[in-house]
Amino acid sequence: MYETKAYAATSATSGLALTAIPRRDPGEHDVQIEILFCGICHSDLHHVRDEFQDMMPTRYPFVPGHEIIGCVIAVGPSVTKHKVGDTVGVGYMVESDLTCPQCRAGNEQFCPNITITIGWPDKHGTAAQTYGGHSNSIVVHEHFALSIPSNLDLPGAAPLLCAGITSYAPMRHHGVTAGKKVGIVGLGGLGHMGVKFAKAFGAHVVVFTTSPEKTEDALRLGADEVVLSRHGEEMQKHARTFDFILDTASAVHDLNSYLNLLGVDGNLTLVGIADKPFQFFGPALLYGRRSLSGSNFGSIAETQEMLHFCGKHNITADVEVIPIQMINQAYERLAKNDVKYRFSIDMASLKQ
Ligand code: NAP
Ligand code: ZN
């Protein structure tokens, strides 16, 4: 066991402050990673502020961060996937049993024995719970470290590990390809990645935003059209026309107005997490055999596929790089919907 510096919240209102956390020494199949950049996802914010208390109460001290890019600095004796010096990424999961039917089918994200990167019971007993990437180093099973294409800009690649895969996986699953009409609800961290992927797949992309000032950015990022979602008339123009809608909004909103935009066999996938239940009108699904579904991040194979896709098409997130000392201002700004479009922490600042 060794100690590493980290930023942790000690309560829902404390903000984040410098602390030291224990990490395990790399075991048989583990890689030890020096963290270079870490994105800030809205899920980190939800957890830090205990906004999921009904389904997943936060236990403190809580170290967020699950969009991790780093360099392998040590490997266990049986590691074959990575070597010292490799640039790797870690997302929302750090372990699963690798033997259950879901793992064997390549769906580690649905493993009943999964270990999430932040605030999950630590099976190794190093600490009461797992600590995330707002820290100088992390140790994970080799299977859960992803290879990062060498041409990608590292600060912008960090958000691919959650925002990237969470928008890529459902689009692939629901067959987004050239010629499909795709809606992206919410232009934030996930949403702006959704626009980039949908565009790269050749779809006709429509962004739905509550923020008129984001219109220009949405078009620059690749949207073909932008709709202000609070304008009923603008919404109505698109009734019954969408093949797929990715809903990334981070709070409860009116789902019915989006379900009505789906065409025959259209699907709306929710990836945004609201702390209150949604209400929707059931019959809206009957017309056109529409479906409403959800998706959480993605499997290791899907994440690696997404990273290769990003390498090939040179896709990264639009980031504001910050030192860790700016962390509390960054969380405040994320809460106020004031980020273009992801914060990426330069973790070298934590060594100072
Ligand atoms: P973000 O950067 O804050 O973006 C969220 C966007 O939602 C905002 O930019 C805003 O877009 C829109 N929005 C905010 N409040 C809204 C409201 N009251 N009504 C309608 N739209 C609203 O957050 P993110 O990091 O992209 O994460 C988005 C959500 O996905 C969060 O709830 C997060 O916890 C969740 N998440 C889920 C997974 C998963 O595995 N399913 C993974 C990562 C994150 P406009 O200004 O354009 O309207
Ligand atoms: Zn996330």
Judged against a pLDDT cut of 90, whether residue 118 lies above it is answered with: yes
Question: To test ligand 1's pocket by mutation, which of 42, 67, 235, 255 has the most ligand atoms within 8 angstroms of CB?
Answer: 42
Judged against a pLDDT cut of 90, whether residue 254 lies above it is answered with: yes
Q: Based on the domain organization, do 192 and 251 belong to the same domain?
A: yes
Q: Based on the domain organization, do 7 and 152 belong to the same domain?
A: yes
Instruction: Write down the pLDDT at residue 352.
Output: 81
Residues 251-257, mean pLDDT to the nearest whole number:
95
Structure pTM? Answer: 0.97
Q: Based on the domain organization, do 19 and 139 belong to the same domain?
A: yes
Q: Whose CA is nearest to atom 9 of ligand 1?
A: 188
Question: To test ligand 1's pocket by mutation, which of 166, 168, 190, 231 has the most ligand atoms within 8 angstroms of CB?
Answer: 190
Cα 254 to ligand 2 centre (Å):
23
Better-scored residue on pLDDT, 267 or 52: 267
User: What's the Cα-to-Cα distance from 50 to each of 13, 60, 238, rounded to whole Å?
Assistant: 9, 10, 37
Better-scored residue on pLDDT, 317 or 52: 317
Cα 60 to ligand 2 centre (Å):
19
Residues 132-146, mean pLDDT to the nearest whole number:
98
Q: Is the peptide bond before 61 cis (omega within 30 degrees of 0)?
A: yes
Which atom of ligand 1 is nearest to 341's Cα? 2
Instruction: Write down the pLDDT at residue 44.
Output: 98
Number of structural domains (the chain) is 2
In a domain, 326, yes or no: yes
Residues 302-316, mean pLDDT to the nearest whole number:
98
List beta partners, residue 228: 209
Cα 67 to ligand 2 centre (Å):
7
Judged against a pLDDT cut of 90, whether residue 275 lies above it is answered with: no
Instruction: Write down the pLDDT at residue 180.
Output: 98
Instruction: Write down the pLDDT at residue 276.
Output: 87
Residues 159-179, mean pLDDT to the nearest whole number:
98
CATH of the domain at 36: 3.90.180.10
Cα 318 to ligand 1 centre (Å):
16
Range of the domain at 268: 163-294
Q: Based on the domain organization, do 157 and 257 belong to the same domain?
A: no
pLDDT in tens, 88-104: 999 999 999 999 999 99
Give the pLDDT band of residue 336 (cuts 50, 70, 90): very high
**Strand 30-40 relative to strand 16-23: parallel, antiparallel, unpaired?**
unpaired
Question: To test ligand 1's pocket by mutation, which of 250, 302, 333, 341 has the most ligand atoms within 8 angstroms of CB?
Answer: 250
CATH of the domain at 284: 3.40.50.720
In a domain, 308, yes or no: no
Instruction: Write down the pLDDT at residue 219.
Output: 98
Which atom of ligand 1 is nearest to 41's Cα? 25
pLDDT in tens, 176-221: 999 999 999 999 999 999 999 999 999 999 999 999 999 999 999 9
Which atom of ligand 1 is nearest to 339's Cα? 2
Instruction: For the chain, give the mean pLDDT.
Output: 97
Instruction: Write down the pLDDT at residue 45.
Output: 98
Closest CA to 253 of 332, 205, 185: 185
Q: Based on the domain organization, do 123 and 13 belong to the same domain?
A: yes
Question: Nearest bound ligand to CA 132?
Answer: 2
In a domain, 300, yes or no: no
In a domain, 244, yes or no: yes
In a domain, 342, yes or no: yes
Which atom of ligand 1 is nearest to 218's Cα? 47
For the chain, what is the largest distance between any 2 Cα atoms, rounded to a whole number of angstroms?
62
Q: Based on the domain organization, do 19 and 113 belong to the same domain?
A: yes
* Separation of alpha carbons 53 and 50, rounded Å: 5
Contacts of 284 (CB under 8 A, 6+ apart): 256, 259, 260, 290
Cα 352 to ligand 1 centre (Å):
32
Q: What is the percent of the chain with per-residue pLDDT over 90, rounded to a whole number?
A: 97
In a domain, 310, yes or no: no
Q: How many residues are present in the chain?
A: 352
* Separation of alpha carbons 258 and 245, rounded Å: 8
In a domain, 302, yes or no: no
Judged against a pLDDT cut of 90, whether residue 55 lies above it is answered with: no
| Residues in contact with ligand 1 (CB, 6 Å cut-off) | 41-43, 46, 162-163, 166, 186-191, 209-211, 214, 248-251, 253, 271-273, 295-297, 334, 337
Q: Based on the domain organization, do 7 and 142 belong to the same domain?
A: yes
Question: Nearest bound ligand to CA 47?
Answer: 1
Residues 22-35, mean pLDDT to the nearest whole number:
98
Residues 320-331, mean pLDDT to the nearest whole number:
98
DSSP-assigned states of every residue in 82-105: --TT-EEEE-SEEE--S-SHHHHT
* Separation of alpha carbons 22 and 128, rounded Å: 10
Q: Whose CA is nearest to atom 36 of ligand 1?
A: 272
Instruction: Write down the pLDDT at residue 30.
Output: 98
Q: Based on the domain organization, do 130 and 76 belong to the same domain?
A: yes
User: Is the alpha carbon torsion for 270, 271, 272, 273 positive or negative?
Assistant: positive
Tokens of 117: 């990167």
Q: Based on the domain organization, do 288 and 331 belong to the same domain?
A: no
Give the pLDDT band of residue 335 (cuts 50, 70, 90): very high
* Separation of alpha carbons 279 and 292, rounded Å: 12
Residues 151-165, mean pLDDT to the nearest whole number:
98
In a domain, 309, yes or no: no
Torsion angle of the four alpha carbons 175, 181, 187, 189, in this order, in degrees rounded to the nearest 10: 20
Q: Whose CA is nearest to atom 22 of ligand 1?
A: 249
* Separation of alpha carbons 212 and 189, rounded Å: 17
Instruction: Write down the pLDDT at residue 54.
Output: 84
E-strand spans in the chain?
2-9, 16-23, 30-40, 68-75, 87-90, 93-95, 115-116, 137-141, 146-147, 181-185, 204-209, 225-228, 242-247, 262-270, 291-294, 319-323, 342-346
Q: Based on the domain organization, do 152 and 178 belong to the same domain?
A: no
Instruction: Write down the pLDDT at residue 250.
Output: 96
Q: Based on the domain organization, do 152 and 281 belong to the same domain?
A: no
Q: Based on the domain organization, do 126 and 33 belong to the same domain?
A: yes
Instruction: Write down the pLDDT at residue 27.
Output: 97
